[in-house]
Chains A and B, each alone.
Chain A
Amino acid sequence: MLRMIFIQLWNERKSNVLIFLELVVVSVFLWYASDALYVQYKSFERPLGFDISNVYHVQLATVPVSSADYDTSVVHSRKGGSDFLAVYDRLAHHPQVEAVCYTGGNHFHYRGSNQFATFKKDSLMRHGYVRHVDPAYFRVFRVKTADGQSWETLTKALDENRIVVTGTVGTDFFGSAAKALNQEIQITDQGDRDSVFYHIGAVCEPQRYSDFMDYDYAYYKAAGSREAIANSGDGLANGWSLFIRVKPAADNNRFVAGFTREMSQQLRLGNIYLKDVVPMSYYRNEMLRYWMDDIRFYFSCILFFLLNVFLGIIGTFWFRTQQRSAEIGLRMAMGASRRNIFRHLFAEGFVLLGVAFVPAALVFANLMYLEVTEWSAMQIPVLGRLLCGMGMTLGLIGIMVAIGIGFPAYRAMRLQPADTLHDE
């Protein structure tokens, strides 16, 4: 039967060539798109190294000096940092809040506000980030240690005024996270002329900046003691960021409104006031928009290609069953069952797809070889990637071919042999 189909396809090559070409082109691009999605998905699903669920950014601000409401007393202006600490404590005592932390200057997760740092050891040099945080940062963002323990060790390291490096720094500079403990590393913060040798107090899990980025280098150091904060001015509340982790039971879509209403009065201290409470997911969505647009673009292209395949197949096969009604009638008269006719048409469609897929695979292999396909620093097994892309492409086009042929084939099946032969 297969041989028959091949012979027939060959005999009809003139009318088949265009649909064949379309299947080749569509297969290549569909494969390209599904491969890009696969790579992005692989990159997306790796652990981030921190957890923003139930985490909110508590935005504080200060009353401008020009305002009549500005409190000029020294306690609230030049030493307004103590008000900041009071706000911190009030947040910590709130029954719905599980943990609070502040970070100095930069709001780094999903916000693109960073201070860079250069890591050096022997001849190895890497660029990364420095992050000034409160020891409770690890608790709020649920950062684990490199060996999967919870945040306590990390918090302790900062409390002892030592630094915490990410797992990536550990493995790249010392071979493994465990070996990096208590080792010395030379770091230059952005803007500093001199570098400092630090003893590594703890190693946290590898972290990534955002869901589609790779693991990067970073280290954490304590943002400043309570006394230092208490002695700084009220401007601190503008620059530094406060984060709270809310108890899961209390976190719902009414949380922000309720919390703001309840706390506005309590957090109005000296010149500091509560401006906004923003869920971290907001910053995440803002940052990921660029990638999301890409993914949506690929999805709409896939949909477009599939619809075209569907239209093309249904058009071609519909026309063909009309043209070949005589042939079909003859087959029936010769004893072919209706089911046979149906199966014959189906087989024809899938053989056409199979034949078209061979050159498509060759083209794609070449594209991959030339590195035109989606690039990633991740080590993705090539075989798995190829099989996944191929499976998805063939599966999707297969479904479209099946739907496209189904209707014409059903029509062919219902033909009356006598009617069709009558035309002859």
Chain B
Amino acid sequence: MIKHYFKQALRLLKENKLLSVISILGTALAICMIMVIVILYVVNTAGFRPEVNRERTCYFTNIMSLGKEDGRRMSYSGIGLPLLETCYYPLQSAEVVTGVLRKRWDKLPASTMDGLRRYNSQVILTDTAFWQLFKFDFLDGAPFAPAAFMSGIREAVVSESVARTLFGTVQATGKEMKLDFTVFRICGVVKDVSRFANKAWAEVWLPYTTDPGYRQGWCEGINGNFQCYALLKEGKNREDLRREAEARLASFNSTLSDYKADMLHLPTTQVEEWLYGGNEKPQDVSRAYLRYGVVLFILLLVPALNLSSITFSRMRKRVAELGVRRAFGATKRDIVSQVLLENLVLTLAGGLLGLVLSFFSLWLLRDWLLTTSLGEARLSAGMFNGYVFLAAFLFCLVMNLMSAGIPAWRVSRVNITDSINS
């Protein structure tokens, strides 16, 4: 029976080409808009290499320091090393805790020893836990070793692009380069990272113990330039982590004379970090989801109304045919499911086209859709999971129901004698 419906639907598609084109285009347009949103949501929140643990990662990005007695505002900035070492590194609710110094606004010139080849690179200064939290694809060598980190030996992990620019090959382990007038030995080369992985992304990664200013801080060690990322232990949630960090912070504060630290609403989750990263006040994520919901609903509703009126006018033409089917014993349910299934063919065709269009528009509009705070990012196959396609299919089903539901229901209720008469 279903096969029969499909055949009929295809026949009908050919019969009125303009209406079919309009229906398919309408669906494609809606699915395209929705899929662009879904894809952007996925690449910004779901895990992919090297940020494979996004679901379980919490971010301590800033810290507020206040006057101890009067609570006056002193500073709101990155975390200082003493605070990081006493409060965050020992966190028991976390499996891995890493401290990261990112030089957001200044790139460092990496050059070959003779200075002939240069690459202005974004640098992350970090510890060894960084390589456990993020899973990089090493093309050559390995991350810097704990011993090297402890003693501040100048070793560097560089990205494929840096290695190729400086040495013309990715086999660069053991070679030396100059970074900001200082000589570093390359210990590993990793595949280039997408800027959507905005916590892990850089072009050169160094142990922070090699930076002369890494101990630099103010407000009695509360503030500095560090950010801290923690991977939750299995079975622990963010609240556990927050409670533990609060307790440690309180005991840290008791050792200070003039200041006290306040971590505000932190730590944040990946979704919060993406939506409201760096915001001083806590933001309600459910509001953002509500906004998404409204937007998706409207994106579905407008074309659905549109397609409904087209489907309806098409159905009116076929009332006689459906009347005959009723006369020969088809139930209302049969009629409804026939109309819905026929329409599904159109919707799926439109959905497929829409999905293709969404990739195309992502490519076409990469200048602004794919621009992150770190620069232009590229999509790669690794970022997509089955969810993208499942979502596309689900949205098609909803769309189908919304656009053909009312016409189907109305056609099924037409009186048999009337319809045959017409």
**Most A Cβ at <10 Å: residue of B67, B107, B182:** B182
Q: Are B305 and A312 in contact (CB under 8 A)?
A: yes
Q: Are B106 and A18 in contact (CB under 8 A)?
A: no
Which residue of B22, B70, B373 contacts A315 across the interface (Cβ within 8 Å)?
A: B22
Q: Does A371 lie at the interface of the complex (its beta carbon under 8 Å from any beta carbon of B)?
A: no
Give the distance in Å from the alpha carbon of A405 to the alpha carbon of B147 in the complex.
76
Give the distance in Å from the alpha carbon of A111 to the alpha carbon of B30 in the complex.
38
Q: Are A15 and B312 in contact (CB under 8 A)?
A: yes
Q: Does A21 lie at the interface of the complex (its beta carbon under 8 Å from any beta carbon of B)?
A: yes
Give the distance in Å from the alpha carbon of A193 to the alpha carbon of B182 in the complex.
41
Q: Are B29 and A316 in contact (CB under 8 A)?
A: no
Q: Are B306 and A311 in contact (CB under 8 A)?
A: yes
Which residue of B75, B180, B306, B308 contacts A191 across the interface (Cβ within 8 Å)?
A: B75
Q: Are B313 and A319 in contact (CB under 8 A)?
A: yes
Q: Are A316 and B182 in contact (CB under 8 A)?
A: no
Give the distance in Å from the alpha carbon of A70 to the alpha carbon of B180 in the complex.
11
Q: Are B302 and A318 in contact (CB under 8 A)?
A: no
Q: Distance in Å from the Cβ of B267 to the closest Cβ of chain A? A: 21
Q: Are B302 and A63 in contact (CB under 8 A)?
A: no
Q: Are A25 and B305 in contact (CB under 8 A)?
A: yes
Q: Distance in Å from the Cβ of B216 to the closest Cβ of chain A? A: 10
Q: Are B29 and A304 in contact (CB under 8 A)?
A: yes
In the complex, the chain A residue whose C-beta lies closest to that of B218 is: A191
Q: Are B106 and A276 in contact (CB under 8 A)?
A: yes
Range class of the B interface residue count: 35 or more
- Indicate whether A315 sits within 8 Å of B302 (C-beta atoms), given known contacts A65-B212, A67-B181, A304-B33: no
Q: Are A64 and B180 in contact (CB under 8 A)?
A: yes
Give the distance in Å from the alpha carbon of A323 to the alpha carbon of B317 in the complex.
9
- Indicate whether A61 sits within 8 Å of B309 (C-beta atoms), given known contacts A296-B368, A311-B26, A319-B19: no
In the complex, the chain A residue whose C-beta lies closest to that of B310 is: A315
Give the distance in Å from the alpha carbon of A111 to the alpha carbon of B301 in the complex.
41
Q: Are A315 and B72 in contact (CB under 8 A)?
A: no
Q: Are B313 and A316 in contact (CB under 8 A)?
A: yes
**Most A Cβ at <10 Å: residue of B22, B25, B109:** B22
Q: Are B298 and A22 in contact (CB under 8 A)?
A: no
Kindly list chain B residues whose C-beta atoms are within 8 Å of the C-beta of A19.
305-306, 309
Q: Are A311 and B22 in contact (CB under 8 A)?
A: yes
Which residue of B18, B181, B309 contacts A312 across the interface (Cβ within 8 Å)?
A: B309
Q: Are A22 and B368 in contact (CB under 8 A)?
A: no
Q: Does A314 lie at the interface of the complex (its beta carbon under 8 Å from any beta carbon of B)?
A: yes
Q: Number of A interface residues, CB 8 Å?
A: 45
Give the distance in Å from the alpha carbon of A292 to the alpha carbon of B211 in the complex.
36
- Indicate whether A22 sits within 8 Å of B302 (C-beta atoms), given known contacts A64-B180, A308-B26, A315-B309: yes
Kindly list chain B residues whose C-beta atoms are within 8 Å of the C-beta of A59.
106
Q: Are A315 and B306 in contact (CB under 8 A)?
A: yes
- Indicate whether A316 sits within 8 Å of B305 (C-beta atoms), given known contacts A61-B106, A65-B212, A276-B107: no
Q: Are B302 and A305 in contact (CB under 8 A)?
A: yes
Q: Are A67 and B182 in contact (CB under 8 A)?
A: yes
Kindly list chain B residues whose C-beta atoms are within 8 Å of the C-beta of A286.
373
Q: Distance in Å from the Cβ of A301 to the closest Cβ of chain B? A: 8
Residues facing A in B158-212 (CB within 8 A) are: 180-182, 210-212
Q: Does A418 lie at the interface of the complex (its beta carbon under 8 Å from any beta carbon of B)?
A: no
Give the distance in Å from the alpha carbon of A84 to the alpha carbon of B357 in the complex.
55
Give the distance in Å from the alpha carbon of A70 to the alpha carbon of B67 in the complex.
37
Q: Does A300 lie at the interface of the complex (its beta carbon under 8 Å from any beta carbon of B)?
A: yes
Q: Distance in Å from the Cβ of B297 to the closest Cβ of chain A? A: 11
In the complex, the chain A residue whose C-beta lies closest to that of B18 is: A318
Kindly list chain A residues whose C-beta atoms are within 8 Å of the C-beta of B385.
none
Q: Distance in Å from the Cβ of A7 to the closest Cβ of chain B? A: 20
Q: Distance in Å from the Cβ of B417 to the closest Cβ of chain A? A: 19
Kindly list chain A residues whose C-beta atoms are within 8 Å of the C-beta of B74.
190-191
Give the distance in Å from the alpha carbon of A25 to the alpha carbon of B310 in the complex.
17
Kindly list chain A residues whose C-beta atoms are within 8 Å of the C-beta of B180.
61, 63-64, 67
Q: Does A93 lie at the interface of the complex (its beta carbon under 8 Å from any beta carbon of B)?
A: no
Give the distance in Å from the alpha carbon of A416 to the alpha carbon of B74 in the complex.
84
Q: Are B301 and A64 in contact (CB under 8 A)?
A: no
- Indicate whether A116 sits within 8 Å of B73 (C-beta atoms), given known contacts A289-B373, A304-B33, A304-B299: yes
In the complex, the chain A residue whose C-beta lies closest to that of B107 is: A276
Q: Does B303 lie at the interface of the complex (its beta carbon under 8 Å from any beta carbon of A)?
A: yes
Q: Distance in Å from the Cβ of A126 to the closest Cβ of chain B? A: 15
- Indicate whether A64 sits within 8 Å of B106 (C-beta atoms), given known contacts A19-B309, A22-B306, A319-B313: no
Q: Does A307 lie at the interface of the complex (its beta carbon under 8 Å from any beta carbon of B)?
A: yes
- Indicate whether A22 sits within 8 Å of B310 (C-beta atoms), given known contacts A15-B316, A308-B29: no
In the complex, the chain A residue whose C-beta lies closest to that of B37 is: A297
0 or 1 for each of A314-349: is its CB under 8 Å from B? (1 = yes)? 111011100100000000000000000000000000
Q: Does A29 lie at the interface of the complex (its beta carbon under 8 Å from any beta carbon of B)?
A: yes
Kindly list chain B residues whose C-beta atoms are within 8 Å of the C-beta of A191.
72-75
Q: Are A293 and B212 in contact (CB under 8 A)?
A: no
Q: Are A308 and B313 in contact (CB under 8 A)?
A: no
Give the distance in Å from the alpha carbon of A347 to the alpha carbon of B26 in the complex.
25
Q: Does A69 lie at the interface of the complex (its beta carbon under 8 Å from any beta carbon of B)?
A: yes
Q: Are A315 and B312 in contact (CB under 8 A)?
A: no
Q: Does B415 lie at the interface of the complex (its beta carbon under 8 Å from any beta carbon of A)?
A: no
Q: Are A64 and B309 in contact (CB under 8 A)?
A: no
Q: Distance in Å from the Cβ of A9 to the closest Cβ of chain B? A: 14
Give the distance in Å from the alpha carbon of A392 to the alpha carbon of B180 in the complex.
55
Q: Are B212 and A25 in contact (CB under 8 A)?
A: no
Q: Does A275 lie at the interface of the complex (its beta carbon under 8 Å from any beta carbon of B)?
A: yes
Give the distance in Å from the alpha carbon of A152 to the alpha carbon of B303 in the complex.
60
Give the distance in Å from the alpha carbon of A70 to the alpha carbon of B106 in the complex.
20
Q: Are B309 and A66 in contact (CB under 8 A)?
A: no
Q: Distance in Å from the Cβ of B220 to the closest Cβ of chain A? A: 13
Q: Does A26 lie at the interface of the complex (its beta carbon under 8 Å from any beta carbon of B)?
A: yes
Residues facing A in B9-31 (CB within 8 A) are: 18-19, 22-23, 25-26, 29-30
Which residue of B67, B181, B301 contacts A25 across the interface (Cβ within 8 Å)?
A: B301
Q: Are B310 and A316 in contact (CB under 8 A)?
A: yes
Kindly list chain A residues whose C-beta atoms are within 8 Å of the C-beta of B309.
15, 18-19, 22, 312, 315-316
Q: Distance in Å from the Cβ of A65 to the closest Cβ of chain B? A: 5
Give the distance in Å from the alpha carbon of A196 to the alpha carbon of B292 in the complex.
48
Residues facing B in A278-295 (CB within 8 A) are: 286, 289, 292-293
In the complex, the chain A residue whose C-beta lies closest to that of B306 is: A312
0 or 1 for each of A105-125: is its CB under 8 Å from B? (1 = yes)? 000000100001000000000
Give the distance in Å from the alpha carbon of A15 to the alpha carbon of B106 in the complex.
63
16 A/B residue pairs, CB under 8 Å, sorted by A: A15-B313, A15-B316, A18-B309, A19-B306, A22-B306, A64-B180, A67-B180, A67-B181, A111-B105, A191-B72, A304-B29, A305-B302, A315-B19, A315-B309, A315-B310, A319-B314
Given contacts A29-B298, A319-B19, 12 further A-B contacts (CB under 8 A): A15-B312, A18-B305, A18-B312, A21-B305, A25-B302, A64-B182, A66-B210, A116-B73, A304-B33, A305-B302, A308-B302, A315-B22
6 closest A-B pairs by CB: A18-B309, A312-B306, A22-B305, A67-B181, A315-B310, A315-B22
